[in-house]
Amino acid sequence: MADSNTQGSLWGSEVYDRQTAGAWPTSWYAVPPRKLWAWGENGSGELGLGDITARNSPVQVGSSLDWKTVATGQGHTAVIKTDGTLWTFGSNGQSQLGDSTAVSKSTPAQVGALTNWKYVSTVSYHNLAIKTDGTLWAWGYNTAGQLGDTTYNTNNSPAQLGSLTTWRNTAAGGYHSVAIKTDNTLWTWGANSYSQLGNGTSGTWTKVLSPTQIGALTNWSTVSAGNSHTVATKTNGTLWAWGRNNSGQLGDGTGTNRSSPVQIGALTTWLTVACGQYYSLAIKTDGTLWAWGRNGYGQLGNGTSNDTYAPVQIGTLTNWSSMGGAAEHTLALKTDGTLWAWGKGLNGRLGLESGTSFSSPKQVGTLTTWLTTAAGGYHSIAISS
């Protein structure tokens, strides 16, 4: 999400930030502290704790108190600090850390020296980021043109896409990418084997190597990308989806792939969306939480393990502020600053200590100062005050 309350992305997303939104009185701190926490699988150092040992509950990463926003991929993490610097750690076999190497890191390492990073989105092996000047950057794996630089070459450091300064938010999918400009137009690029680009075509060889506009509409609001599907909202509060639909992840009541955006229902109260690998999540303007798609480990949070082909409400609460989907687990925040998790619990990714899977939301600890969180492939990251 370029705007911290507007978007999710596969296996991790920047989500609603209660501190910058004004939920915390600025008089409490001259410079409000922002701690970074991590838990779950850690085989590549993706927790940033200096080792490769898994954790089953949140552990603070270092002693810095200036973390701003976070994104997670399959086995790596990217974080931006309040000073605008970019930091990464974890797996780096496809240069996804952006540090000009292919060496994994188990502690946060700064990427370059720039101080104008605004937003970052990560996935399995590629990353997208937007700077405060509105420019769009990409790095990592590029086998399907998902970096958008007109090539199939892997980039081991951030490279600018074109010269435009009008990018607002972006989402990295499995092997495709999506972005919205400040004029609210929608753009996609990369793999299109399941019509995840939404350009009306499909096929293994229909890759798009640079950002291409989808339609001519100027009312796209938020967007998120799954492994091979995409979900978005418009400024009129409607919900749209396209791409692969084998587990009902589009939410249109069918299992049929869609090659262009289709509206999901007729409601005009959808606020923001997030995608897991093969499922989707959304919050309405009334603060209710909804989910649909694959549910083998209870990642939808509806108390079952059955796939759902249309949006179903998760409980009856009206105080959800953000959510993020992963491969098989989900994280979410409430407006009271509490953190909740559900889905597959293996390797401690839920942060609930036991490693048990849950099919409905369970509170993680007792803190009420969580600000933002991201669900990675098998790990989780969060920032608290």
Q: How far apart are CA 323 and CA 318, in angstroms?
A: 14
pLDDT digits (tens, 9 = 90+) for 215-267: 999 999 999 999 999 999 999 999 999 999 999 999 999 999 999 999 999 99
- Percentage of the chain surpassing pLDDT 90? 89
The model's confidence at residue 32, banded by pLDDT at 50, 70 and 90, is confident
Q: How far apart are CA 139 and CA 158, in angstroms?
A: 5
Segments making up each domain of the chain, as ranges: 26-384
Mean pLDDT of 11-37: 55
pLDDT at residue 175 is higher than 70: yes
User: 261 versus 16: which is more confidently predicted?
Assistant: 261
pLDDT at residue 29 is higher than 50: no
pLDDT at residue 24 is higher than 60: no
Strands (E), 91-238: 105-110, 117-122, 126-131, 136-140, 155-160, 167-172, 176-181, 186-190, 208-213, 220-225, 229-234
Chain centroid to CA 261: 20
DSSP strand pairing (320-325 vs 176-181): unpaired
Provide the mean pLDDT of the chain.
Answer: 92
- Percentage of the chain surpassing pLDDT 70? 92
Name the DSSP class of 287: S
Mean pLDDT of 145-173: 97
- Judge whether 198 and 188 are in contact, CB under 8 Å: yes
Residue 30 is predicted with a pLDDT of 55
The model's confidence at residue 2, banded by pLDDT at 50, 70 and 90, is very low
The model's confidence at residue 286, banded by pLDDT at 50, 70 and 90, is very high
Q: Is 142 helix (H, G, I), strand (E, B) or coil?
A: coil
pLDDT at residue 374 is higher than 70: yes
Q: Locate tokens 């909740």: which residue?
A: 340
Residue 16 is predicted with a pLDDT of 38
The model's confidence at residue 355, banded by pLDDT at 50, 70 and 90, is confident
pLDDT at residue 19 is higher than 50: no
**Lowest model confidence (mean pLDDT) among 13-27, 226-240, 307-321:** 13-27
Residue 21 is predicted with a pLDDT of 44
Q: Is 348 helix (H, G, I), strand (E, B) or coil?
A: helix
Residue 372 is predicted with a pLDDT of 97
Residue 25 is predicted with a pLDDT of 43
Residue 353 is predicted with a pLDDT of 86
Residue 14 is predicted with a pLDDT of 38
Fold of 26-384: Methylamine Dehydrogenase; Chain H (2.130.10)
Q: What angle do CA 202, 203, 206 make, to 5 degrees?
A: 85
Residue 11 is predicted with a pLDDT of 45
| Alpha-carbon torsion angle 283, 285, 287, 289, nearest 10 | -20
Max intra-chain CA distance, the chain:
56
pLDDT at residue 26 is higher than 60: no
- Judge whether 89 and 110 are in contact, CB under 8 Å: no
- Judge whether 211 and 162 are in contact, CB under 8 Å: yes
Q: Locate tokens 């699988």: which residue?
A: 41
Residue 31 is predicted with a pLDDT of 61
- Judge whether 223 and 169 are in contact, CB under 8 Å: yes
**Among the listed residues 172, 309, 312, 178, the one whose alpha carbon sits nearest the alpha carbon of residue 245:** 309
pLDDT at residue 12 is higher than 60: no
pLDDT digits (tens, 9 = 90+) for 94-112: 999 999 999 999 999 999 9
DSSP strand pairing (126-131 vs 117-122): antiparallel
Q: Is the dihedral of CA 130, 136, 140, 144 positive or negative?
A: positive
pLDDT at residue 65 is higher than 90: yes
Q: How far apart are CA 72 and CA 256, in angstroms?
A: 29
